[in-house]
Chains A and B, each alone.
Chain A
């Protein structure tokens, strides 16, 4: 039976080095939950704590209501898919898949039925008598998945399972994993550093940095309403512009350095006139108009469905950390293409853009909170 996972105040230390200072999160039963973050953020460490391969230095991890901290890995009833698949090279495909089930004393008939079903589900039936070194990357991936799922684990843990595959296969396997997970209905914790993959596959995503969760939510929420500058730039790309708050009777404005301003109706109450802010605008949230913020085309890249322009603004418009500003132009509706050196005017979409405090740590949009804050 699938379970819910609750992680309460866990701590991970290697000698004096603290990887995870204090982390809590709940994963619902049957959910596809993704831990996303740059390398070194502690996501794999956390996954291996759930699996039982890493010790827990503080706090507790529960499967439903029972604490599993001191239960050894082999008794946790988990299914794990490894980054390098970890297929047993001395066993055939079928023997690999049977390995975990054999340890579980299941009636012969049911055993055979389960094996046959899973081999078909992940579509490796025809290779079942081959040795692993005769399999392609995608096939090995399917074997690893079948081996983990066939034991009907309480949770399915996946550690960057697609990172060793080529781009096309990655897309295909992404779909396959998603479908199989929904079909079997196992609580799944998935680790990746690929934000696009996380957005496509997850029910919920927890974005991690430095051993702490920055934001947790549905893919759309995380993309459209990031909780801080880190999330807004790590998930998708964002142009970070310098701005100021302007409070007037008519409404509340965000003013850019060149004087252009947008009326905002979704800012929190707790702001003051003249406050410095960071305005985060995604490349697709600009529209090209006759007037607006002045920008120069630096280069143009054609992607078929859209054009991607690298643009520069007047001096002091953008944050120093911002290396390149980007603008995308949907080619379905646009007829004017621009070339290097052209001057354009662009207008940010007030309903879509995000506004952060000067230090980038806090969103000033209503109802958007950093993870763990009330």
Chain B
């Protein structure tokens, strides 16, 4: 019968092409990574030695323990800051709420290493705050380097995830639920614990996992502020870099361990959330109440305090970028010298960032729309598989992805290492999920009968996709694409492994300048990057019509 024939229509071709792309650029490299982690560096024979080396030497396994210690602490602190903040912001009227939310989102979407480097500038050995306390009071402030610094920077960077997730969940709770509890004699505090907390718990778990994964995978922060406090991504990077030219099997083994851990966490979280999830829709969301007196002051101090702390890095880089420099020191007079240096020596990193970013974002939009369409409208085993594979980047830390790509494409037949193509591949794979998920979300809201209406009027299915479906998808696609764009231009952990002199991007250049203690140029570059991020965000808010970001 005709229907059993494999028809080579447009969507079949799209599906197969996408499957091939992912097989080549994601599945094959990962596979190659696992294989090489079981190979002896010298002889190439199968061995467990790489793994044995890891668990038998304290230097290495301590890195994993450190990672867990930092990550767990960051997650707990992020919950303790983010969840109460979301509750206060949604239940009480806080002045300048809109501005607070925008600042929170800006601090979340700026590159984390800018945070690390700003805190070094402020409270490092020769930092402004350190000097101030030393010179005025003769007090030695506690060191910012190591565990404390990583904790501070990552918490301030990651609590917004919890804040946004919990805020979203709170908005879905119908006010009548709270009123019912109150009518039954429940005090406000008890209500928060017995009613609100259980209702937001699945969301809180999802947000916590996101924080945990991000903290675990973060490379820039521990590299800049860790100073010997080794965590996994740093170990993997330094092992890999030190072995370049030779074999990278040991780094591959460590990367494998990390991927396994994150995969297990991800699956565990899915399992828990699926068991606990329930759908809520609120016809009448909770209305924010006036908060007065002592309580009101306290609430405002808490909110503004947190936001101020998290926005300090941005203020610091913008301010210092306008200062004159002498060597690695800032002087007190204003000057545009740093910017002149940047445009003279590092101009290519700026153009690279924009060009690579634009190419990547075009590919991300196309892939995102196509994959969203085939996985929602042409659902079968094959498209579901593609949908699952596109979620891989959630569990693969950037530095690991960088290594897998480099290991897979540094030999014939396909040599991509050192080219801009490999950078773009990394960008697309890592940042596709934002666009994909928001495209799929909007597709679920578009009734298939709209497409059928177009087809019934004589428009072919492919034409219908481009004339009707794609246009209706655009708002969702663009909302996701801007997030993808912002995170692409701020990408560091994969780029730092994949870049060469000619393909250096802004974030890589900033990292290199900070390492060289060339703080002026780093500040100028960071400012350019931050301003680009903020402008992109403003466009996003304008397009989406509200101030909500779905990560």
In the assembled complex, which residues on chain B have CB atoms less than 8 Å from the CB atom of A79?
Answer: 456-457
Q: Once bound together, how far apart are the Cα atoms of A53 and B451, in whole Å?
A: 11
Q: Once bound together, how far apart are the Cα atoms of A177 and B455, in whole Å?
A: 22
Q: Once bound together, how far apart are the Cα atoms of A77 and B458, in whole Å?
A: 6
In the assembled complex, which residues on chain A have CB atoms less than 8 Å from the CB atom of B3?
Answer: 55, 57
Do B472 and A86 touch across chains, with their CB atoms under 8 A apart? Answer: no
Is B454's CB within 8 Å of the partner chain A?
Answer: yes
Known: A53-B452, A80-B452, A86-B447. A99 touches B471 (CB 8 A): no
Task: Tell me which residues from 73 to 128 in chain A have a Cβ below 8 Å from any Cβ of chain B.
Answer: 73-80, 82-84, 86, 88-90, 99-100, 103-104
Task: Tell me which residues from 442 to 495 in chain B have a Cβ below 8 Å from any Cβ of chain A.
Answer: 447, 449-450, 452-461, 464, 468, 471-472
Task: Determine how close the nearest CB of chain A comes to the CB of B257; give it in whole angstroms.
Answer: 42
Task: Determine how close the nearest CB of chain A comes to the CB of B442; give it in whole angstroms.
Answer: 12
Do B455 and A86 touch across chains, with their CB atoms under 8 A apart? Answer: no
Do B453 and A73 touch across chains, with their CB atoms under 8 A apart? Answer: no
Do A82 and B453 touch across chains, with their CB atoms under 8 A apart? Answer: yes
In the assembled complex, which residues on chain B have CB atoms less than 8 Å from the CB atom of A100?
Answer: 457-459
Is B45's CB within 8 Å of the partner chain A?
Answer: no
Do B2 and A74 touch across chains, with their CB atoms under 8 A apart? Answer: no
Do B461 and A74 touch across chains, with their CB atoms under 8 A apart? Answer: yes
Do B449 and A82 touch across chains, with their CB atoms under 8 A apart? Answer: yes
In the assembled complex, which residues on chain A have CB atoms less than 8 Å from the CB atom of B472?
Answer: 88-90
Interface string of A133-170 (1 = CB under 8 A from B): 00000000000100110010000010000000000000
Task: Tell me which residues from 304 to 319 in chain B have a Cβ below 8 Å from any Cβ of chain A.
Answer: none
Known: A70-B2, A88-B468, A89-B472. A147 touches B457 (CB 8 A): yes
Q: Once bound together, how far apart are the Cα atoms of A78 and B454, in whole Å?
A: 11
Do A99 and B457 touch across chains, with their CB atoms under 8 A apart? Answer: yes
Chain B residue, CB-CB nearest to A104:
B458
Do A151 and B453 touch across chains, with their CB atoms under 8 A apart? Answer: no
Do A86 and B452 touch across chains, with their CB atoms under 8 A apart? Answer: yes
Chain A residue, CB-CB nearest to B471:
A90
Do A88 and B453 touch across chains, with their CB atoms under 8 A apart? Answer: yes
In the assembled complex, which residues on chain B have CB atoms less than 8 Å from the CB atom of A74?
Answer: 455-461, 464
In the assembled complex, which residues on chain A have CB atoms less than 8 Å from the CB atom of B449?
Answer: 82-84, 86
Do A147 and B455 touch across chains, with their CB atoms under 8 A apart? Answer: no
Is A51's CB within 8 Å of the partner chain B?
Answer: yes
Chain B residue, CB-CB nearest to A76:
B456
Of B450, B453, B457, B461, which one neighbours A103 at CB under 8 angstroms? B457
In the assembled complex, which residues on chain A have CB atoms less than 8 Å from the CB atom of B460?
Answer: 72, 74
In the assembled complex, which residues on chain B have CB atoms less than 8 Å from the CB atom of A52?
Answer: 455-456
Q: Once bound together, how far apart are the Cα atoms of A157 and B456, in whole Å?
A: 10
Do B459 and A148 touch across chains, with their CB atoms under 8 A apart? Answer: no
Q: Once bound together, how far apart are the Cα atoms of A75 and B455, in whole Å?
A: 8
Known: A70-B2, A86-B447. A51 touches B454 (CB 8 A): no
In the assembled complex, which residues on chain A have CB atoms less than 8 Å from the CB atom of B456?
Answer: 51-52, 73-74, 76, 78-80, 148, 157
Chain B residue, CB-CB nearest to A79:
B456
Q: Once bound together, how far apart are the Cα atoms of A103 and B468, in whole Å?
A: 13
Known: A53-B452, A82-B453, A84-B447. A75 touches B471 (CB 8 A): no
Do A103 and B2 touch across chains, with their CB atoms under 8 A apart? Answer: no
Q: Once bound together, how far apart are the Cα atoms of A147 and B472, in whole Å?
A: 19
Task: Determine how close the nearest CB of chain A comes to the CB of B379; give it in whole angstroms.
Answer: 13
In the assembled complex, which residues on chain A have CB atoms less than 8 Å from the CB atom of B454?
Answer: 88, 99
Task: Determine how close the nearest CB of chain A comes to the CB of B350; give it in whole angstroms.
Answer: 37
Task: Determine how close the nearest CB of chain A comes to the CB of B461; give it in whole angstroms.
Answer: 7
Task: Determine how close the nearest CB of chain B comes to the CB of A49; give it in whole angstroms.
Answer: 13
Q: Once bound together, how far apart are the Cα atoms of A84 and B452, in whole Å?
A: 12
In the assembled complex, which residues on chain B have CB atoms less than 8 Å from the CB atom of A80?
Answer: 452-453, 456
Known: A55-B3, A70-B2. A82 touches B457 (CB 8 A): no
Of A51, A69, A86, A103, which one neighbours B459 at CB under 8 angstroms? A103
Task: Determine how close the nearest CB of chain B comes to the CB of A163; give it in whole angstroms.
Answer: 13
Task: Determine how close the nearest CB of chain B comes to the CB of A80; give it in whole angstroms.
Answer: 4
Q: Once bound together, how far apart are the Cα atoms of A79 and B452, in whole Å?
A: 11
Do A88 and B450 touch across chains, with their CB atoms under 8 A apart? Answer: yes
In the assembled complex, which residues on chain B have CB atoms less than 8 Å from the CB atom of A148?
Answer: 456-457
Chain B residue, CB-CB nearest to A77:
B458
Do B457 and A151 touch across chains, with their CB atoms under 8 A apart? Answer: yes
Task: Tell me which residues from 394 to 451 in chain B have a Cβ below 8 Å from any Cβ of chain A.
Answer: 447, 449-450
In the assembled complex, which residues on chain A have CB atoms less than 8 Å from the CB atom of B471?
Answer: 90
Counting chain A CB atoms within 10 Å of each CB, the highest count among B453, B456, B458, B472 belongs to B456
Q: Once bound together, how far apart are the Cα atoms of A253 and B471, in whole Å?
A: 70
Task: Determine how close the nearest CB of chain B comes to the CB of A366; give it in whole angstroms.
Answer: 43
In the assembled complex, which residues on chain A have CB atoms less than 8 Å from the CB atom of B447?
Answer: 84, 86
In the assembled complex, which residues on chain B have CB atoms less than 8 Å from the CB atom of A51?
Answer: 452, 456
Do A151 and B458 touch across chains, with their CB atoms under 8 A apart? Answer: yes
Task: Determine how close the nearest CB of chain B comes to the CB of A135; give it in whole angstroms.
Answer: 15
Task: Determine how close the nearest CB of chain A comes to the CB of B316; give it in whole angstroms.
Answer: 45
In the assembled complex, which residues on chain A have CB atoms less than 8 Å from the CB atom of B468?
Answer: 88
In the assembled complex, which residues on chain A have CB atoms less than 8 Å from the CB atom of B452?
Answer: 51, 53, 73, 80, 82, 86
Task: Determine how close the nearest CB of chain B comes to the CB of A208; give it in whole angstroms.
Answer: 21
Q: Once bound together, how far apart are the Cα atoms of A99 and B464, in whole Å?
A: 11
In the assembled complex, which residues on chain A have CB atoms less than 8 Å from the CB atom of B455?
Answer: 52-53, 72-74
Chain A residue, CB-CB nearest to B1:
A57
In the assembled complex, which residues on chain B have CB atoms less than 8 Å from the CB atom of A75?
Answer: 458
Q: Once bound together, how far apart are the Cα atoms of A373 and B229, in whole Å?
A: 86
Counting chain A CB atoms within 10 Å of each CB, the highest count among B2, B457, B464 belongs to B457
Q: Once bound together, how far apart are the Cα atoms of A78 and B452, in whole Å?
A: 11
In the assembled complex, which residues on chain A have CB atoms less than 8 Å from the CB atom of B2?
Answer: 69-70
Chain B residue, CB-CB nearest to A78:
B456
Known: A55-B3, A70-B2. A86 touches B458 (CB 8 A): no
In the assembled complex, which residues on chain B have CB atoms less than 8 Å from the CB atom of A88?
Answer: 450, 453-454, 468, 472
Q: Once bound together, how far apart are the Cα atoms of A99 and B450, in whole Å?
A: 12
In the assembled complex, which residues on chain A have CB atoms less than 8 Å from the CB atom of B453?
Answer: 80, 82, 86, 88, 144, 147
Q: Once bound together, how far apart are the Cα atoms of A57 and B2, in whole Å?
A: 10
Task: Tell me which residues from 36 to 71 in chain A have a Cβ below 8 Å from any Cβ of chain B.
Answer: 51-53, 55, 57, 69-70
In the assembled complex, which residues on chain B have CB atoms less than 8 Å from the CB atom of A90?
Answer: 471-472
Task: Determine how close the nearest CB of chain A comes to the CB of B378; give it in whole angstroms.
Answer: 14
Chain B residue, CB-CB nearest to A74:
B455
In the assembled complex, which residues on chain B have CB atoms less than 8 Å from the CB atom of A103?
Answer: 457-459
Q: Once bound together, how far apart are the Cα atoms of A80 and B451, in whole Å?
A: 12
Task: Determine how close the nearest CB of chain B comes to the CB of A151; give it in whole angstroms.
Answer: 6
In the assembled complex, which residues on chain B have CB atoms less than 8 Å from the CB atom of A69?
Answer: 2
**Shortest 4 CB-CB distances between A and B: which pairs?**
A100-B457, A86-B449, A80-B456, A86-B453
Apart from A84-B447, A88-B454, A104-B458, 16 more pairs, CB < 8 Å? A51-B456, A53-B452, A55-B3, A57-B3, A72-B455, A74-B455, A74-B457, A75-B458, A79-B457, A82-B449, A86-B449, A86-B453, A99-B459, A100-B459, A103-B457, A151-B457
A-B pairs with beta carbons under 8 Å apart, 8 shown:
A51-B452, A73-B455, A99-B459, A100-B457, A103-B459, A104-B458, A147-B453, A147-B457
